[in-house]
Structure 1
Amino acid sequence: MDNSQIDVRNAISGVLVVDKPVGLTSHDVVQIIRKGTNIRRAGHTGTLDPRASGVLVVLIGPAVRLSEYVSASDKRYQAILRLGASTDTYDADGRVTRSRPVEHITEEQFQEVLQRFVGEIEQVPPPFSAVKIKGRKAYEMAREGEEVDLAPRKITVYSLELLEWAPPEAVIDVYCSSGTYVRSLAHDLGEALGCGAHLVGLRRTKSGRFTLRDAVPLRKLKEAFVEGNWYQYLIPAAEALADWPAIELTEAEIDTIRHGHRIPAAPESPAMARGISEMGELVALLALDPATNEWQPKKVFFS
């Protein structure tokens, strides 16, 4: 490897949007990307269970510092629910805890109950989840037969749409805030219907501004690692927060921000924005101080 390749590798910062296959953990995918790119600094922005597929956003190089903001983005899923049985994991991996008849449930009834879950709701995460209780993961406690008492959390479900009614299965489109467990939604929906339900299939179709159209199948990405042309799939870091307002900065402003100093903001500026160079590179994430109407650099990416 010559020096120019090493320089390129050290300068790489961006996003790989992967279409994760079923059977791998999100961490497995990050490990494959670290190995394939030779870049140690990589992290995903929202776990997908091994049995779920779809959009997994992986940040590479200095872009990993965007993680907390990208992780907080809204998500969209296509979920397959099976009515008539509840499981301890809320999905098909678990033990059936209760079976009930479903013949009497109509499509209209399902639609009516489904809409009750739209809006800001309180949701209890599944007992078999990575949520920590006093430093221990809930699923570790659940596996050991301990009682898992998880506190409900506020989430927002923007919309729920029935895509296919094929009892005992139903396919729904879920558009929700970050932190929503679709497994819990399936379980709670089953309880509200009185017949029980669990999740049998899950595909994430959107994460933040990235959809399946932006995602490269993992097998294609692995081929590109072997061929050495994986850069074609790298999306600039600035794109990860493309739904944030962008402020184009002059060279003098970039210099000021690089040293951690504030710059004046225009009247009626938004609370947060991306500071972008004339070349479209991400310089910094900026927070507005309304008292002085100045931009305070929160994270600086331009060296």
Structure 2
Amino acid sequence: MDGIINVYKEKGYTSHDVVAKMRGILRMKKIGHTGTLDPEAEGVLPVCLGKGTRLCDMLTDKTKSYRAVLLLGKETDTQDTTGAVLAENPEAAASVTEEQVRQAILSFLGIYMQVPPMYSALKVNGKKLYELARAGKEIERQARPVEILDIQIEKIDLPRVTFHVSCSKGTYIRTLCYDIGRKLGCGGCMESLLRTRVDRFCLEDSLTLSQIEALRDEGRVEEHVLPVDSVFLDYPKFCMKRGEGDKLVHNGNPFRADETIFTVESGVCAGAEACAGTESCSEEEACKGNDSCLTVRVYDSEDQFIGLYQYEEEKQRYRPQKIFLGGK
């Protein structure tokens, strides 16, 4: 099987545990996950199979959405309730108002500088931060820009606050909870976390490991494996013509922006000249530097997905960006 399956990661499993379990269930080795979730967190974890493993890094970069419960009045070394308590301030937590909580949470909308937690998989000088933390070491971490795209407060039942957040890659929701607590002056940590979406993969469509195992026994797992190219449907689709077109892409070579060797099945041609005046790009200027126009998905003449190609304006050609299917 080649593609992506939307797994519901349950509490108690690491992302690596899920991959190991999936290898046993599907009896295949080439499986990878698309970004770690803490063992106590649960929710959407797209898992890539076969040639789909080439998607792992691309899906890691996608926007993610979560439902989190923030517990005010407590700080821990892990920034969630599984860690050792560093400080408790229930009196200060009891003194904040709902309006103060709302203002503090909403103030994080947009780009803000976030310091990664010590209990994280980030590497410093070749060592993962959580390995240093477990050895009792704490090192200075540089703040990094992250973007909070949306925050919706679901419930305030102090000292707990439930909220939904959509954010850029690299955002730690544990740290967001800690930062909100600091802003309110009472401290805070994350009590629970549910990932509800990764790009187009949503909670409603996710499957637990036991459900996947049952589908395997019924011979129906493949019904739930999304093809690799389903992730790129926003990009224009190019189909190569038999002969020169097929030969070039089967060998992973660039091809010129010449519609004698390909046809545009959907979307628009990526070159600025080709796009000018079309519905998608009414002005020539709109195309320059626009990734959604400059990147195309390429298929051979038999409609097999080859991969992503990017337009090089100077050379007026398309070069391979990521290949998923080679020659025959």
Same topology, TM > 0.5: yes
TM-score (norm 2): 0.84
Match of 2:205 among 201, 214, 219: 214
Show the 5 A alignment for 1:104-115: 104-115=95-106
2:107 corresponds to 1:116? yes
CA distance in 2, matches of 1:161, 1:51: 22
CA distance in 2, matches of 1:80, 1:280: 46
Show the 5 A alignment for 1:234-245: 234-242=225-233, 244-245=234-235
How far is the alpha carbon of 1:99 from its aligned partner? Answer: 1.2
How far is the alpha carbon of 1:241 from its aligned partner? Answer: 3.3
2:53 corresponds to 1:44? no
CA distance in 1, matches of 2:317, 2:94: 62
Query: Any unmatched runs of 5+ in structure 2?
Result: 258-268, 273-286, 288-292
CA distance in 2, matches of 1:278, 1:48: 40
Match of 1:135 among 115, 122, 126: 126
2:175 corresponds to 1:152? no
Match of 2:312 among 286, 289, 297: 289
How far is the alpha carbon of 1:41 from its aligned partner? Answer: 0.7
CA distance in 2, matches of 1:57, 1:291: 37
Judging changes above 3 Å, is the alpha-carbon distance between structure 1 residues 194 and 277 closer, same or farther for their aligned structure 2 residues?
farther
Larger Rg: 2
Match of 1:246 in 2: 236
Match of 2:322 in 1: 299
* Aligned amino acid, residue 283 of structure 1: I
The answer to whether the Cα contact below 8 Å between 1:276 and 1:283 also exists between their aligned partners in 2 is yes
The answer to whether the Cα contact below 8 Å between 1:15 and 1:237 also exists between their aligned partners in 2 is yes
Match of 2:280 in 1: none
CA distance in 2, matches of 1:215, 1:144: 36
CA distance in 1, matches of 2:15, 2:221: 19
Show the 5 A alignment for 1:124-203: 124-203=115-194
Match of 1:54 among 38, 43, 48: 43
* Aligned amino acid, residue 250 of structure 2: R
Aligned residues with identical type, % of pairs: 32
C-alpha deviations, 1:73-111, integer Å up to 9, x for none? 110000011001111100011111111121221121111
User: Secondary structure, in 3 states, of the residue corresponding to 2:189?
Assistant: strand
Match of 1:255 in 2: 247
Query: Any unmatched runs of 5+ in structure 1?
Result: 1-11
The answer to whether the Cα contact below 8 Å between 1:183 and 1:198 also exists between their aligned partners in 2 is yes
CA distance in 1, matches of 2:308, 2:185: 48
User: Secondary structure, in 3 states, of the residue corresponding to 1:223?
Assistant: helix
CA distance in 1, matches of 2:125, 2:235: 38
How far is the alpha carbon of 1:256 from its aligned partner? Answer: 1.6
TM-score (norm 1): 0.91
* Aligned amino acid, residue 25 of structure 1: T
C-alpha deviations, 1:106-161, integer Å up to 9, x for none? 12111111122111111111111111111111111111111232222221111111
